[in-house]
Chain A
Amino acid sequence: MNLFSLIFGSSLGKKFVMAISGALLFGFVVAHMLGNLQVFLGPEQLNAYGHFLQTTPEILWPARLGLLAMVVLHIWSAIRLSRENKAARPIAYAVQKTVKASYASRTMLMSGLIIAAFVVYHLLHFTVLMQAVNLTGQNFSALLDVKGRHDVYRMMVIGFSHPAVALFYLIAVGLLCLHLSHGVSSLFQSLGLKNKFYGACLDRFAKFASLILFLGYAAIPSAILLGLVK
Chain B
Amino acid sequence: MKLDAKIPSGPLERKWERYQLEMKLVNPANKRKFDVIVVGSGLAGASAAASLAELGYKVKCFCFQDSPRRAHSIAAQGGINAAKNYQNDGDSVYRLFYDTIKGGDFRAREGNVYRLAQVSAGIIDQCVAQGVPFAREYGGLLANRSFGGAQVSRTFYARGQTGQQLLLGAYQALSRQIGLGNVKMFPRTEMLDLVLIDGHAKGIVVRDLVTGEISSHAGDAVVLATGGYGNVFYLSTNARGCNVTATYRAFKRGAVFANPCYTQIHPTCIPVSGDHQSKLTLMSESLRNDGRVWVPKKRDDKRPSQEIPETERDYYLERKYPSYGNLAPRDISSRAAKEACDDGRGVGPGGLGVYLDFADAIKRVSEPVIRERYGNLFDMYEKITGENAYQTPMRIYPAVHYTMGGLWVDYNLMSNVPGLFVIGEANFSDHGANRLGASALMQGLADGYFILPYTISNYFASNKQTKAKADQTEFKKVEAEVSVRTNKFLAIEGKRTVTSFHRELGKLLWDKCGMARDEAGLKEALQKIPALREEFWRNVKVTGGSGSLNQDLEQAGRVADYLEFAELLCLDALIRRESCGGHFRTEFQTEEGEALRDDANFSFVSAWEFQGTDQPPMLHKEPLVYEELKMSQRSYK
Q: Do the two chains touch directly in the complex (Cβ atoms below 8 Å apart)?
A: no
